[in-house]
Structures are given as C-alpha cells and as structure tokens.
Structure 1
Amino acid sequence: MLKTSFTYTDMSLPIFVINMKNSVERWQKTYNRLQTLGLECQRFEATVGKSLDETETSHWYDPTANLKKHHRNMTPGEIGCYVSHMRIWQHIHDKNIPAAIIFEDDLLIENHLQENINNLSKLQDWDMIKLSDNRANPFIHTETLSSQVVLGNYLKVPNGGQGYIISQQGVKKLLCRKPFFRPVDVDFQFHSEIDLQVFGMKPYPVSEDLSFQSEIAAINAGRHSNHSTFLRNAKHRLAMYLQRKKISGDLSKVIKSQ
C-alpha cells in the first residue's frame, strides 16, 4: 500500500514515480535527483502488461471499443503503461489528494521544477498540466505566471506521459475512461471527450532521458496483433483532426484574480 508522507500545500505536493520492480538503479537516480531539488517522491510500482491474465486484462481494457475507436490494437506494454497511470489516479482519488505530480522514471529533470510547482498557487479549477513535450507543440494562448514561467493551452496536446500534474477533479474525469481502449497519452489528446482541461507550463521541467532504453517498454515488449486497416486508420485520423480543432482549456477560468 502506497503511503503519502507529506501534505499537499500550494508549495509542495506528492510526486509519484512509476518504476519497474527490478529497475532499482533508475529509481535511485530519479529519487536522488529530486532530493537535490529539495523534493520528496514516492515510488509506484509499474504494472507489467504481459503479466496480466485474460480476466485482469478485460477488467482494464475494452478490445471492442478499441476496434471501433482506435486505429490498432493495444500491445501488452501499452496496456500495462495505462494501468500504471490509472492505478495512481485511483490512489489520488481514494486518498482525496488535491493534486499530485506523476513521473515516469526515464527523465531528465531541470532545476526549475520547483518554480513550476510554486506557480500552482496562482491557478484554480484546472485538471491537468503537462510538464514535458518532446515535439515542441506550440501554445495557442498564454498567460505569464512569473518572470520565468508561462501557462498555455493547445490545439495539439503533447503526447507522452513522462511528466504531468493532475488535480483531484482531473483524476475523476480520467477514471471515467475505464475500461480504456487507446494508449494513455493518446487519450490525453482526446481531452474533449471527457471535458479534460489540459494546459502546459513552460519552460518544461522534464524531458525524456534518451540515454536509457525504456525499461517499461522493454519488459512489456510485444508487437501489435494486427496491422491497421485503411478504414480504421482513416477513422482515427479524422477523429484526431476534429479533436485538434478544439482548444484544450480556457486560460481565463484557471488564472486566479489578483
């Protein structure tokens, strides 16, 4: 059972790090890095998708919805990754934690992470704040939070689940995804389906550590069970195109009045 060792305030909040059972070195590296920044973190053991039996898999994953609404079947690795995130969301919900940071463990963490966290005190009624983007997707609108930090919204929400902040109201929305049918980072991009308000905070404080092969991906290794058909692929592309016409969140509603 995961235990929360400190209380959320405007200046600090729980940090959960998704880490494979045997990835001790990677956990230690992430833990030590956050310690140097004066931040505590808690390890959350990753789920190995290929270790789930058929009953467990069907508890989390809906292959029928996947066939209708995604362009290819999910791999055991994608299922395990989504389950890992969803188990943390459930923990945040059950413990009534106001907000938390979720990290995967293959990260480079910048010194300004604490400044990003400090600026949360200027926000209200937000669901998710992305802390990384390896593809440099632009903001549509921005609000300056401090001399160094800017909050923005998107038409194209960054993929990847390497690092983000999630609120209690955000996890309640995300838990409605169960059973899921797309990879977790793709579901973030389809934010409007559950009215998930997604923002980003730049400069992003985390990025993927490309010096490591993802151990989560390696342990969960597996190929897609089919090639995407033309029709499935076309439906997915159209759905994504329409989704990217919708702004990910209203900045005017999350900035506290001065």
Structure 2
Amino acid sequence: MTKIYVINLKSSIERKNNISRQLDELYLPFEIFSAIDGRALPFHPLLKSYNDNLSQTYRAKTLSSGQLGCYASHFLLWEKCVEIDQPIIVIEDDALLYKNPFLNFMQDIPEIPDSIECIRLFNNKRRKFKSYSVLECNSTSIHKFTKGHMSATAYFLRPSGAKKLLQNSKEWYMAVDIYMDRFWVNNVECYGTKAPCLTNDPKFDSDIGYEKRASNRSLIKKCKREWFNLSETIQRHLHNIKFKNDMKN
C-alpha cells in the first residue's frame, strides 16, 4: 500500500480531524506530517532558500510566510520520498475526498509505469488547458496536461520525481504549486487523473495567506517580468509539442 502523508499545522486541529475521519472511513492508513509554520520563530533553515529579489523581478510578488512554510513542508516530503525510496501520496489537510475515485486510484497504482513520476489528484484550476489520455488503468484515466494545475492539494509522487523536484529547487522564488507546474524546468511531467479524486473543502479558508505584490517596480524589472512570462509560455509550448511527438514515435 502506497504511504499517505497529510500535511497539517499543529494548530489546525479541526482540519486534522476532518481529513483523518475521511481516510479512516476508507480504511486507509496515513501519517500526519507536521507542517512548517513560516511565521514561527526561529525560522526554519529551509526558508533561507527563498530569494525575494528574484520573486519580485520575475513574479512581481513577495511570497507570504505561509507560502514559504507550505513550500518547506512539501520540500521535506520530497526528501522523505527519496529517503524511504517508495512512492508516496501527499495530501494537504483541507482536502475533501471523493470516496470511489480515490479508492479506485489507490487500487490502480500497481498498473502505473515508473515513467509516470507525479500525478495530481484534483481538477486543473487553469482557465484554459488541454489534456489527453496517456494511460487507461482498470478504473482510472491518467492524462497528460498542457498546463499545470495551480495547486498542490494532493499528488502521487515517485522517488525519481522527488529527486528531480529537489535538484531543481535550490532557490525559491515562486509558490510551491507554481514551481511544480513548471514541468519543462523541473523535468517532472504534468500528469493528472481525468476525473478528480478530491477537491479543496470549501468550509476551510487557506492557512497559507496570499502573496504581496511588489510596489514601485522599476521599468527594468517590469521588462524582465514580461520577458520571463513570454519565455515560460514558449518553453512550455515547445515542451508539449516534443512530448506529443515522442508519444507518436
């Protein structure tokens, strides 16, 4: 059985109880992973990886302490995945599970080839994207997505994918879900389930907090950001073309 880790701040007791109840009802063993609180002193050493200058230059935003804690929490679970050398499922504590699709996915994991290193388990939140089937398991359809999902609510991850995420995450300047979406940079292809296995529970507000937009940005920084966004679009598009051509061959 694939190990399930639930990211939870120690202070978020209601969230822990809610997700624990859902997993217990499905008779699925899991482990609560104590999230890093980016607001707590002393600051966790991993938060030194954040480069605010790059964040403001390329994203026009400063990451909140909650976002930094979220990044650190996922980063530590990537390390855990490599350490135990087994695939894992990471779930944030505000998830609302869809019983049958989630159980079906758990049962279908043995059918998934090693080449599929990471699978998002929720609906893609982009306004425009395309997807197409790359694997039909017994009860789950795995799709390749042309754009990332804009969230890290829950995902399946192999050690090989975790290593790539770690290797390409030496310096942080965007939220962890946006970093994970940059599959052309981190080399972890963007797969997801066609039908969602879960979603975010609407009764919970975000524990993360929002980014702060940079103010009084120089013309040079504005130009750098526009060039960065254009470059991202071009690289993503070229990567997707190559991926589709490779599938045909």
State the TM bucket, normalised to the shorter chain.
0.7 to 0.9
One-letter amino acid of the counterpart of residue 95, structure 2: L
In the alignment, what sits opposite 1:209? 201
Cα offset, 1:237, TM superposition: 2.4
In the alignment, what sits opposite 2:91? 103
Change (3 A) 1:241 1:223: closer
Change (3 A) 1:228 1:122: farther
Structure 1 segment 89-168 matched on structure 2, within 5 A: 89-96=78-85, 98-111=86-99, 112-124=101-113, 125-133=115-123, 135=125, 138-146=129-137, 148-168=139-159
Q: Which runs of 5+ in 2 are unaligned?
A: none
TM-score where L is the length of structure 1: 0.81
Q: Which runs of 5+ in 1 are unaligned?
A: 1-11
152-161 or 114-123, larger mean C-alpha shift: 114-123
In the alignment, what sits opposite 1:247? 240
Indicate the percent of aligned positions where both proteins have the same amino acid: 21
Change (3 A) 1:208 1:58: closer
Name the SS for the 1:51 alignment partner. coil
Query: Which of structure 1's runs of 4+ aligned residues deviate more than 6 A?
Result: 251-254
Partners of 2:46 and 2:72 within 8 A in 1: no
One-letter amino acid of the counterpart of residue 110, structure 1: Y
Partners of 2:108 and 2:139 within 8 A in 1: no
Kindly report the root-mean-square deviation, in angstroms, between the aligned alpha carbons of the 2 structures.
Answer: 2.8
Partners of 2:63 and 2:210 within 8 A in 1: no
Structure 1 segment 1-258 matched on structure 2, within 5 A: 12-51=1-40, 53=42, 56=45, 59-96=48-85, 98-111=86-99, 112-124=101-113, 125-133=115-123, 135=125, 138-146=129-137, 148-176=139-167, 177-214=169-206, 216-217=207-208, 221=209, 224=212, 226-227=214-215, 229=217, 230-245=222-237, 246-247=239-240
How many residues were matched structurally?
Answer: 238
